[in-house]
Amino acid sequence: MYYERHGRVDGDAPTILLLHGLGSSATDWTEQLAGFGPRCRLLVVDLPGHHRSALPPGRLTVERMAADLERLLIGLGEPPLHVAGLSLGACVGLALAFQAPARIRSLTLVNGFARLRPLSAAGALRLLTRLALVATAPMTVVASRVAGVMFPKPEQAHLRLAATRSLARTRRRTYLAALAALATFDARPRLASVRCPTLVVAGDGDATVALEAKAELTQGIPGAQMVVVPDSGHATPSDQPELFNRIILEFIAAH
């Protein structure tokens, strides 16, 4: 698994592990590297099959990605750390909390879910459209469509372009395997077992994961808190970076 270290080098600084979303990579955390770096040690990875990490043989599952991540942390000798994941990364972070609770000091789930299911006809149509595109269209077309949903505003053109470039690097096989992993992921029966401090971050304009799914996470995890970020879509760390960074740093400082 490809990884990079950033930020402070002293061992007294808190360590944050950042886990990207579907089809993305460690390169997506530019605003967080700048915002967290002066105060924290940072560990960013490319999840299995994404960008510089190989897709392992056999069936890919969220739990398998979390197990691979745990092996990386053991190999690096990492002490317990703070985990923040976006979408797919939130699911992997949650699975890591189930499998290796002693390795997590706090958990931040950004626009994630316990079970992937559209809660409206429009959401179901978007999901079916994406599946059809991934199955038939070039990945550049898939990337452009997904980036357009994440960053629809004219003033977000630079974010849309960066997301298109990042997503277009993803191999079709990886994208389909990761989609299948998300489709079979169901954390609902185990939410009550999470014992670390947990923060659920929700973009109020997220067109990918419904607010109800994030509320379900919050209600299912003992003591979890939810923060709704205004004027934000699915990629909250990118479209509201200053507010997102402040929320995370305050949460980590409290734990």
Which of the listed CATH numbers 3.40.630.10, 3.90.228.20, 3.40.50.720, 3.40.50.1820 matches domain 3-115+185-253?
3.40.50.1820
Confidence of residue 39 (pLDDT cuts 50, 70, 90): very high
Q: What is residue 191's DSSP assignment?
A: G
pTM, two decimal places: 0.95
- With CA atoms as reference, report the closest residue to 244 among 111, 45, 139, 67: 111
Which pLDDT score is estimated for 122?
Answer: 64
| Model confidence pLDDT, tens digit, residues 133-152 | 787 889 999 899 899 989 99
With a pLDDT cut of 70, the percent of the chain lying above it is 96
- Asked if 133 and 175 touch (Cβ cutoff 8 Å), the reply is no
Q: Which residues contact 28 (CB under 8 A, 6 or more apart)?
A: 20, 21, 86, 163, 166, 237, 238
Q: Encode pLDDT of 74-131 as tens digits.
A: 999 999 999 999 999 999 999 999 999 999 999 999 999 999 876 556 666 666 677 7
State residue 125's pLDDT score.
65
